[in-house]
Every structure is written in C-alpha cells, then in structure tokens.
C-alpha cells in the first residue's frame, strides 16, 4: 500500500568511531564497527525507483498529488544495548518536507519530549538491494542524510517476511565497518573529529551492507507512535 505522507523524517548525526579494521590494515579489538560513511555526492537520486519519500500524481477523478513513502512517519526510537551508536541514539522524529518537493525532515533528541527542539537534518530512505544472513533474505536499506557536501549513510535491514500494515515501521540497524583504503582523517586536530569512511559508488555501499548484514545487529529502529502534539503555551 502506498502511504501518503504529510510529514516524514529521520534524524541522524553521525560521528566517527573505532572500526574493526584500520586504514593501515591493523585489526582493532572493538566489538562493534561504527565508522561514519560519507559519499562526496548523494549516491541515490530520484532516478532510483526505491528512494522515499518521493512525489506522485494521480490522474484519477480527484487529480491528487503529493508525497508518498514506504517508511512511516512519526516518532521513532533507537533501541540498543549500546551506550552510543556514533550519533544515533534516543528518539527521532520523521516528517515530510512538503507537498511539491519531497524529503525527510529529521529531528533527533535523547528524549521524546525534546524532539520539537531537536537537532535538525534532512534526508531520504533508499532500498538499495537484498542480502542473505542466517538462512534468510533481507531487504537492505539506507538513510541517506544531507545533500551538500555529499551525503552520509545509516545502514538498515528489514526482514520482508515480517508483515506490516501500511508503511514500514521497523528496521534492524547494521554495523558500519570501513573497507580497507577508504578511511580519511586529518592529523593534529586536538579533540575535533575528522575521521570518516569515503564511499564512492552504489555498488561499494551495497557490498558493504551485505557484509555488515552477516555481523550482529547493533539495535532496532522502531516507530513508537504519531508525532506528539506541541504542548499548549501558557500565557
């Protein structure tokens, strides 16, 4: 079923974290790989058929138009035993940018009642392919966050055997391990983080997602309900 979206978004601010394999080929002891994945230009544009939200027109008697999405809008929660997922933690509010131009407005905060004032970004969801793990076939998704300069990526998986009414309301969240030779960082920057993993193509990102699917998931990303109404102002 096509879900019409009046509001849709996901907020993720990604920061660097130790990887399982360093750029020099040395293996670290970290149990979870959480590198920031970044491409110099958005890898998925609206020529990609499974990029959401996206515009639609219906030439029926109502002549309707607007934004449609396979991913549900509302308030989502990252559920994990991790203390930190490199920026993804707590709550995310998903709302649509508008009627004529479709994108996901992203608000993120540690507590649900702080989402209205949460950190803002904008992005899109893409179904990028499939992969197999533990005898099952999963859909592989990304949240593509940001437009200039380029986009950052959250890797997500979905078991299509799990039936949902309407739009998608749950993902498994994958690790992010940097392929060898792709790590970028500046030296001598005091406490300021510069480290990220450079991803150059759709094929490279899909191959990485398939590899990460075979590693333990780091958590779930679950829709917990509609957007909470703004509290009434006391004059």
Q: Under DSSP, is residue 213 helix (H, G, I), strand (E, B) or coil?
A: helix
Report how far residue 221's alpha carbon sits from residue 178's, in angstroms, rounded to the nearest whole number.
22
Using CA atoms, how far apart are residues 235 and 230, in angstroms rounded to an integer? 15
Q: Are the C-beta atoms of 193 and 43 separated by less than 8 Å?
A: no
Question: Quick check: 135 and 214 in contact, CB under 8 A?
Answer: no
The pLDDT assigned to 65 comes to: 62
pLDDT at residue 71, rounded to an integer: 95
At 22 the pLDDT is 39
Residue 230 contacts by C-beta under 8 Å, 6 or more apart in sequence? Answer: 116
Q: What is the pLDDT of residue 57?
A: 63
pLDDT at 86: 59
3-state secondary structure of 205: helix
Residue among 128, 181, 150, 152 nearest 21 (CA): 181
pLDDT of residue 226: 85
pLDDT given for residue 227 in this prediction: 82
Tokens of residue 204, six digits: 């490279």
pLDDT value at residue 27:
39
The residues, ordered by sequence, that sit 6+ positions from 56 with a Cβ below 8 Å of its Cβ are 2, 65, 66, 67, 68
Question: What is the mean pLDDT, run by run of 10 residues, along the chain of 235 residues?
Answer: 31 35 41 90 96 78 74 92 67 86 91 90 96 96 95 95 87 95 92 93 98 95 84 53
Distance CA 20, CA 178 (A): 8
Whole-model pTM: value is: 0.81
């Amino acid at each position: 079923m096509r879900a019409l979206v009046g509001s849709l978004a996901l907020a993720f601010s990604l920061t660097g974290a130790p990887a399982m394999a360093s750029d020099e080929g040395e293996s670290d002891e970290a149990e979870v790989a959480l590198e920031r994945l970044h491409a110099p230009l958005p890898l998925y544009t609206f020529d990609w058929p499974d990029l959401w939200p996206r515009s639609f027109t219906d030439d029926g008697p109502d002549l309707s138009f607007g934004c449609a999405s396979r991913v549900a809008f509302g308030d989502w929660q990252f559920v994990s035993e991790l203390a930190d997922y490199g920026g993804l933690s707590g709550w995310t509010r998903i709302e649509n940018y508008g009627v004529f131009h479709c994108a996901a407005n992203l608000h993120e905060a540690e507590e649900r009642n702080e989402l209205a004032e949460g950190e803002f970004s904008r992005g899109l969801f893409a179904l990028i392919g499939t992969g197999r793990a533990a005898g099952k076939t999963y859909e592989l998704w990304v949240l593509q966050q940001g437009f200039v300069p380029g986009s950052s990526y959250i890797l997500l998986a979905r078991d299509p055997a799990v039936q949902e009414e309407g739009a998608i309301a749950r993902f498994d969240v994958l690790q992010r391990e940097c392929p060898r030779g792709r790590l970028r960082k500046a030296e001598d920057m005091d406490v300021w983080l510069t480290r990220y993993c450079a991803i150059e193509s759709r094929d490279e990102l899909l191959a990485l997602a398939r590899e990460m699917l075979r590693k333990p998931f780091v958590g779930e990303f679950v829709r917990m309900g509609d957007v909470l109404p703004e509290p009434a102002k006391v004059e």
